[in-house]
């Protein structure tokens, strides 16, 4: 095949791939901007004839802003807890030799690999027993427990990639191990911290299955639970439903597009390095 | 790369993490086993009844159906997702600008919330959007609804998996492809090998472990899938898309039968642990190969 | 292996650019059948680009490449009938050494029967002394053995052309010398055309029939080792050859009392009256002499310099001294039994046959080994 024909083929295939990936999102976005009558019309229009923000106004009038705040709060708190605990726990795994280390590594991979869904019922039972059902604290703790293994994995791998001589010289200069971690290692490990943060934020912001089991009251709802309830409430009124889906998607998309380098590093760091 | 310095204090650093994991992952697993051996009514633990719950769920046609659906879905979605992911990885294994952009684009369905993704697809597959009707008309299938037909609904569920997770497979496989030294491929070309021969004799064998890891991780993900069927199909029509995880969710949070729900959760967990053990086997095999 | 002589290779006007960077500027080079040619130069000089274009791993922007009688410019590497040994060896890590050696035979389109392949692999392995390693994996054998496997994989097809990309650079010094010797012996037996990329002038000198020296993408000189050593075309080539840098002093040729002298700063060197100096009078030149050419305390018609010893290095059977004369510094060698100490003043003799003069601006050689450049 001549070179130009090959290039054309590649371009067409690329376009088809991009279309398959993005069409549902773009069509959802277009629909969320159509007036209800246009949404119901057959045959469907590709682009809104008269774009309107009515559906967005409607969902914000019915409490979406509160959900957004709840999601934000839970996400940030989970990141703080995960990175605080994880940055500490990753250090001995990267640098020390101690009994039980390989057992802990195994444990981390096990928890990292076991999907959330199979833990839902037992977790719910326990969280109910200690009275943390329908609290943000309960949700934050559970999220942290599920995301901590991957945070530790990413950070330990990153610590290991740093030159150990810097830590030795800090120790010789009289810093304690903990001070060395805080003042030397953590500032250097920023890319690793960003990758871990992205993972935790994406999980906490996007999670639906844990939150739907643990949260019940309206004022505690995170955004995905809000959307899930819209699904029951609006039924087949797709305008507000899709508008809320777009609101949930936008922040994550922005984060991803700008920080995807870190995102990819985390994805492979957490699964390929063995 | 470990230092002999101060190895003793390791557990002081690990304590908070271990505590959190123990409390919120391992205690629940234990209590789940305990619950699964009891009769439970509306959160009230009643009498101990050995494996009665297990017997009940395993002989219940609805749960058996859920197992069959889960197996069928996992296998189909795994094969298709892996194939699409591999094709994407091979197609995008370059440093041209368009590859970089396209890699980002295909990852978008993976990074957005599963709930949102499934909802968007539900809209597309629904009769209200009109797209499905257009397609049915175009192929002359008469009036119908994708999500109301058991076979079409199952296909829609698989499509949801492929659409979201192909990029995940792609990322892992791309990392694997990148780890093959380019001089190895150059050497094979000079040795007279054609592209397909290089793929079969060099690329696939060197990618073997990563391909296995990717498959196991996809399998774990698909076998436990809850959000796809809950949102997209609601498990219907007639249980055609009701997976084990969805069944557990229903029995636990809609019927509040925690005894049976826990029994099912334990069964799912045992499957997961078996899959993870396989993953470990691969890791160890890789390590042996790398350091032999 | 084979009695057939390798194929000739020709580059005609071959160039390669990366954006603004010239990797290779219009190369013309003809390598005869069965010749052992080294491509020598610092990194980034174009030697590896030349090799990769010859292998078909890189497409040139312009020009043609022929191997034998075929124009291979647009032919893929798999159809060029060449073999290559990579710097990293590029052994297939998941295959045993036997499988590595068999790979080129299995990969080619005309497949051979399995037992023919096995016989061939065994023969090549025995030739290289790795017959006992066939069932091992590459990572299980030493660096030197891996190197032999890489060579064997190239030999097994009886290629017309052998390409070697710094194949010895990952070996330690001793092993490198031994492999250099083995490589030479191997080539004498195989008689294939061999193109050898290196940045080590010693390797190039000892192995090659001819050497091509590169600088910044431009071929400087293509000639036999002796020719390059004795008659370098410019100061870059002269300086690049030899174990140590050439002693160089910038200045000009002047006349003093009817006799030609070289004057560089405070340094004046009276030149041998028999030399071809007079036509260079008044010209800005750089005088060069290799450390091996500098003599201590020999008289005669030769030019002499008094220099003060600054530093002595001991190097086995000899001592290397660095001595200052005005702003210039001369490096030279004396036997270990000569008593020299830092601070001593030595009378250095610069024999005419060892002197080079270069045009200071262009670097072109004006006088080499005491003879005017351009004369036979």
pLDDT tens profile C95-120: 999 999 999 888 876 677 888 888 88
* Average pLDDT over every residue of C311-319: 85
Q: How far is B187 from chain C (nearest CA, A)?
A: 6
Q: Where in chain A are all domains bearing CATH 1.10.3720.10?
A: 63-271
Cα–Cα distances in angstroms (integers) from residue A186 to residues A88, A175, A240, in the given order: 10, 14, 44
pLDDT band at A169 (very low <50, low <70, confident <90, very high): confident
The closest alpha carbon to A31, from A253, A241, A234, A206, belongs to A241
Binning pLDDT at 50, 70 and 90, where does residue B232 land? confident
What is the C-alpha to C-alpha distance for residues A56 and B120, in angstroms, rounded to an integer? 16
Cβ atoms C272, C301 nearer than 8 A: yes
| Per-residue model confidence (pLDDT) at position A10 | 86
Report CB contact under 8 Å: C94, B206. yes
Q: Percentage of chain A with pLDDT > 70?
A: 97
- Average pLDDT along chain C: 85
Residue with tokens 């892992």: B172
Predicted pLDDT of residue B112 = 92
Note the pLDDT of residue B5. 44
What local confidence, expressed as pLDDT, does residue B143 receive? 66
Mean pLDDT, residues C209-220: 91
* Closest C-alpha to C84, from C174, C195, C218: C195
Is the predicted pLDDT of residue B17 greater than 90, yes or no? Answer: no
Confidence of residue B3 (pLDDT cuts 50, 70, 90): very low
Whether B145 shows a pLDDT value over 80: the answer reads: no
| Averaged pLDDT of chain A | 85
Mean pLDDT computed over B215-229:
89
Q: Which residues in chain C have their CB less than 8 angstroms from residue B202's CB? A: 92
pLDDT beyond 90 at B108: yes
ipTM of predicted assembly, 2 dp: 0.86
**CB pairs below 8 Å between B and C: how many?**
65
Widest distance between CA atoms in chain A = 76
- The residues pairing with B108 across neighbouring beta strands, listed in sequence order, are none
Tell me which CATH code domain A63-271 carries: 1.10.3720.10
The mean pLDDT value for A51-71 works out to 86
Residues of B in contact with C166 (CB under 8 A): none
Predicted confidence (pLDDT) per residue in C233-280, tens digit: 888 998 888 888 888 888 888 887 777 888 877 777 777 777 777 777
> Judging by beta carbons within 10 Å of its beta carbon (0-12, 13-18, 19+), is residue C99 exposed, middle or buried?
middle
Contact A163, A248 (CB under 8 A): no
pLDDT tens per residue across span C22-61: 888 888 999 998 899 999 988 888 889 999 999 989 889 9
User: In this predicted model, what pLDDT tens digit does every residue of C191-214 receive, in sequence order?
Assistant: 889 999 998 888 888 899 999 999
Provide the pLDDT for residue C3.
45
With cut-offs at 50, 70 and 90, classify the pLDDT of residue A273.
Answer: very low
Q: Residue A198: name the closest of A246, A255, A159 by CA.
A: A255
Helix locations, chain B, DSSP H? 10-21, 27-36, 52-59, 61-91, 97-111, 114-125, 131-138, 150-178, 182-190, 195-198, 204-223, 227, 244-253, 258-291
Q: Specify which residues C198 forms β-bridges with.
A: C40
**A177 contact residues in B (CB cutoff 8 A):** 5-6, 9
How far, in Å, CA of B129 to CA of A39, rounded? Answer: 7
Contact A21 B109 (CB under 8 A): yes
C278 part of contact set with chain B, CB < 8 Å: no
Is the pLDDT assigned to residue B287 strictly greater than 70?
no
pLDDT at C2 over 50: no
Compare CB distances from C107 to B184, B192, B292 and report the shortest one's residue: B192
Task: Convert B103-134 to b/e letters by CB count within 10 Å (16 or more is b).
Answer: bbbbbbbbbbbbbbbbbbbbbbbbbbbbbbbe
The single residue listed with the structure tokens 């590859």 is B99
Confidence of residue C1 (pLDDT cuts 50, 70, 90): very low
pLDDT at C183: 87
What's the pLDDT score for residue C70?
87
Residues in A touching B43 (Cβ below 8 Å)? 128
> B269 to chain A: nearest residue by CA?
A118
Best of B5, B15, B17 to mutate (most A CBs within 10 Å, chain A): B17
Sort out which chain A residues have CB atoms less than 8 A from B66's CB and list them. Answer: none
For residue A119, what pLDDT is reported? 81
The pLDDT assigned to B8 comes to 60
pLDDT band with cut points at 50, 70 and 90 for residue A144: very high
Share of chain C above pLDDT 90, in %: 18
C-alpha C1/C-alpha B85 separation (Å) is 47
Judged by 3 or more CB pairs under 8 A, whether A touches C is no
Q: Is the pLDDT of residue B282 over 80?
A: no
Question: CA A199, CA A90: separation in Å to the nearest integer?
Answer: 16
CB contact under 8 A, B191 and C82: no
Q: Which of A80-84, B270-274, C189-193 has the highest mean pLDDT?
A: A80-84
The answer to whether residue B183 neighbours chain C at the CB level (below 8 Å) is yes
Q: Which domain holds residue B191?
A: 52-291
Does the distance separating the beta carbons of B262 and A122 come in below 8 Å? yes
Q: Does B14 map to a domain?
A: no
We report the CATH number of the domain holding residue B264 as 1.10.3720.10
Highest mean pLDDT, choosing among A122-131, B82-91, B265-274: B82-91
Distance from CA of B49 to the nearest CA of A (A): 18
Q: How close, in Å, is residue C103 to chain B by CA atoms?
A: 7
- What's the pLDDT score for residue A246? 92
Is B128 close to A39, i.e. CB distance below 8 A? yes
φ, ψ of residue B161 to 5 degrees: the values are -65, -45
Confidence of residue B164 (pLDDT cuts 50, 70, 90): very high
What does DSSP assign to residue C45? S
CA dist C301 and C76 (Å) reads: 61
Q: Note the pLDDT of residue C202.
A: 87
pLDDT, average across residues A107-124: 80
Contacts of B176 in chain C (CB under 8 A): none
Residue C4 has pLDDT above 70, yes or no: no
Q: How many structural domains is chain B composed of?
A: 1
Closest CA relative to residue B187, chosen from C52, C134, C15: C52
Mean pLDDT of B145-170: 89
C321-340 pLDDT, tens digit per residue, is: 898 887 788 898 888 888 88
Across A5-22, average pLDDT: 90
Query: Is B26 inside a domain boundary?
Result: no
- pLDDT band, very low/low/confident/very high, at A58 (cuts 50, 70, 90): confident
Say which residue, C349 or C11, is predicted with more confidence: C11
The helix-helix angle for B114-125 and A190-206 (nearest 10°) equals 50
Q: What is the pLDDT of residue B252?
A: 83
Mutate: best of B1, B3, B12, B14, partner A, most A CBs <10 A: B14
Q: How far apart are the first and last CA of chain B?
A: 18
Q: Which residue of B has its CA nearest to C108?
A: B192
Domain-embedded: residue B27: no
Return the pLDDT at B288: 65
């Amino acid at each position: 095949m001549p070179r130009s024909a090959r290039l054309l083929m590649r371009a067409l295939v690329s376009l088809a791939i991009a279309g398959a990936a993005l069409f549902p999102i773009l069509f959802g976005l277009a629909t969320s901007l159509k007036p209800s009558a246009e949404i119901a019309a057959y045959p469907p229009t590709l682009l809104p004839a008269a774009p309107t923000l009515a559906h967005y106004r409607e969902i914000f009038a019915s409490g979406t802003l509160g959900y957004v705040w709840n999601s934000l709060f839970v996400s940030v708190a989970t990141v703080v807890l995960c990175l605080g605990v994880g940055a500490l726990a990753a250090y001995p795994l990267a640098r020390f030799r101690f009994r039980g280390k390989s057992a802990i590594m195994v444990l981390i991979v096990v928890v990292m690999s076991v999907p959330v869904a199979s833990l839902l019922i037992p977790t719910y039972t326990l969280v109910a027993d200690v009275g943390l059902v329908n609290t943000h604290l309960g949700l934050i703790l559970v999220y942290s427990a599920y995301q901590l293994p991957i945070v530790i994995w990413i950070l330990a791998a990153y610590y290991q990639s740093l030159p150990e001589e810097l830590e030795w010289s800090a120790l010789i200069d009289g810093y304690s191990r903990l001070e060395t971690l805080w003042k030397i290692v953590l500032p250097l490990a920023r890319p690793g911290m960003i990758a871990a943060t992205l993972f935790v934020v994406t999980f906490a912001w996007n999670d639906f299955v844990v939150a739907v089991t643990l949260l019940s009251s309206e004022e505690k709802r995170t955004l995905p639970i809000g959307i899930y309830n819209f699904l029951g409430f609006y039924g087949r009124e797709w305008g507000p439903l899709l508008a809320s889906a777009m609101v949930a998607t936008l922040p994550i998309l922005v984060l991803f597009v700008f920080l995807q380098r870190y995102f990819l590093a985390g994805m492979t760091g957490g699964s390929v390095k063995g | 790369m470990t230092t002999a310095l101060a190895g003793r204090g390791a557990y002081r650093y690990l304590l908070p993490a271990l505590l959190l994991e123990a409390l919120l992952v391992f205690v629940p697993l234990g209590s789940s086993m305990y619950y699964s051996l009891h009769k439970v009514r509306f959160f009230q633990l009643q009498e101990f009844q050995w494996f009665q719950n297990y017997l009940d769920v395993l002989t219940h046609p609805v749960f058996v159906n859920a197992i069959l659906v889960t197996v069928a879905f996992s296998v189909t979605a795994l094969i298709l997702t892996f194939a699409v992911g591999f094709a994407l990885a091979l197609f995008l294994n370059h440093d041209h600008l368009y590859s970089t952009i396209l890699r980002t684009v295909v990852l978008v369905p993976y990074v957005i919330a599963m709930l949102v993704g499934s909802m968007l697809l539900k809209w597309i597959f629904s009769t209200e959007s009109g797209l499905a009707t257009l397609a049915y008309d175009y192929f002359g299938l008469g009036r119908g609804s994708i999500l109301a037909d058991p076979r079409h609904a199952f296909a829609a569920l698989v499509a949801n998996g492929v659409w979201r997770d192909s990029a995940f497979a792609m990322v892992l496989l791309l990392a694997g492809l990148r780890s093959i030294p380019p001089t190895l491929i150059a050497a094979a070309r000079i040795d007279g090998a054609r592209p397909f021969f290089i793929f079969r004799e060099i690329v696939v064998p060197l990618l073997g472990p990563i391909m296995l890891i990717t498959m196991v991780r996809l399998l774990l993900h698909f076998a436990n899938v809850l959000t796809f069927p809950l949102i997209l199909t609601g498990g219907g029509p007639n249980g055609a898309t009701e997976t084990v995880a969805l069944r557990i969710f229903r029995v636990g949070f809609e019927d509040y039968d925690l005894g049976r729900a826990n029994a099912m959760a334990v069964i799912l967990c045992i499957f997961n642990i078996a899959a993870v053990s396989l993953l470990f086997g691969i890791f160890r095999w890789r390590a042996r190969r790398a350091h032999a | 292996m084979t009695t057939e002589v390798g194929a000739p290779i020709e580059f005609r006007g071959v160039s390669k650019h990366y954006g603004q960077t010239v990797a290779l500027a219009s190369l013309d080079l003809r390598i005869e059948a069965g010749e052992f040619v080294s491509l020598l130069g610092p990194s980034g000089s174009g030697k590896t680009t030349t090799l990769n274009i010859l292998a078909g791993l890189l497409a040139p922007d312009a020009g043609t490449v022929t191997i034998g009688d075929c124009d291979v410019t647009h032919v893929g590497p798999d159809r060029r009938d060449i073999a290559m040994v990579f710097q990293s060896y590029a052994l297939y890590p998941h295959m045993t050494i036997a499988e590595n050696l068999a790979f080129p035979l299995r990969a080619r389109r005309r497949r051979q029967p399995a037992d023919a392949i096995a016989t061939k692999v065994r023969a090549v392995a025995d030739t290289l002394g790795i017959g006992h390693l066939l069932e091992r994996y590459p990572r299980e054998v030493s660096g030197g053995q891996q190197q032999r496997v890489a060579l064997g994989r190239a030999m097994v097809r009886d290629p017309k052309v052998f390409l070697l990309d710094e194949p010895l650079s990952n070996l330690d010094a001793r092993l490198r010398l031994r492999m250099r010797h083995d490589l030479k012996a191997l080539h004498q037996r195989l008689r294939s055309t061999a193109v050898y990329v290196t940045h080590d002038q010693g390797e190039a000198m000892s192995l090659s029939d001819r050497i091509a020296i590169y600088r910044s993408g431009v071929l400087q000189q293509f000639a036999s080792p002796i020719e390059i050593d004795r008659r370098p075309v410019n100061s870059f080539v002269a300086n690049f050859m030899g174990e140590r840098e050439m002693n160089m002093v910038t200045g000009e040729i002047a006349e003093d009392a009817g006799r030609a002298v070289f004057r560089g700063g405070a340094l004046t060197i009276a030149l041998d009256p028999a030399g071809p100096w007079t036509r260079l009078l008044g010209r800005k030149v750089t005088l060069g002499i290799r450390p091996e050419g500098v003599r201590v305390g020999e008289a005669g018609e030769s030019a002499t310099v008094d220099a003060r010893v600054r530093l002595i290095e001991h190097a086995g059977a000899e001592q290397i001294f660095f001595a200052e004369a005005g702003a210039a510094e001369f490096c030279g060698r004396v036997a270990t039994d000569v008593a020299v100490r830092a601070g001593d003043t030595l009378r250095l003799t610069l024999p005419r046959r060892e002197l080079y003069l270069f045009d200071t601006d262009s670097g072109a050689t004006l006088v080499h080994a005491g003879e005017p450049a351009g004369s036979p």
